[in-house]
Amino acid sequence: MAAAILARFAQGLVGRRCLIERREHDWTFDFGGGCVVAVAAAWRLVGKDGVAFGNREEDIDRPSLWPLGGDSTVERLLKRKRVEAVDLDPVTGDLRVSFDAKLRLEVFNNSASYEGWQAHFAVDGQNVSLVGMPGGGIAFVGAASGVAAIGAAVDL
């Protein structure tokens, strides 16, 4: 069941666009259709020339990253990009979302003590949550196909 839930999550993102929001203690990546990934761990957007933006960029006084007109660098990078593939690492709990135009979002678990990210989405009309676990691994909570489930997605 764990592999099926991870596969449904990954398949469900393909073709979607992403909106990003900086909150007080994390970032959210909204893929529409009720699928939101909240990220407290380190993340970056990587383009064909290297790291285009990282989660700590707002701490650096670089006015060029935040131009007049309202669109941030992240918004400009993700604008009109669609998800092409999703990769979940069941050992580290890392998440990678590849967009068209050779851009990818990499969320990497950098703590053995804290959850790195949480994804909330629906499978067959039932809410499911995935959690990038402290120290690695991916856990899931929710109901899919009418069967309640709680477990670790390490059997991939």
pLDDT at 89 over 60: yes
pLDDT at 152 over 60: no
What domain range includes position 53?
A: 2-152
Cα-trace Rg, the chain: 16
Helix (H, G, I), strand (E, B) or coil at 135: coil
Q: How many structural domains does the chain have?
A: 1
| pTM, 2 dp | 0.83
Extended beta strands in the chain, E state: 19-22, 27-30, 36-39, 42-47, 50-54, 83-88, 95-99, 103-108, 117-123, 126-132, 138-144, 147-152
pLDDT value at residue 1: 56
pLDDT value at residue 22: 86
Residue range 87-93: mean pLDDT, rounded: 93
Determine contact, residues 124/144, Cβ cutoff 8 Å: yes
Residue range 57-76: mean pLDDT, rounded: 54
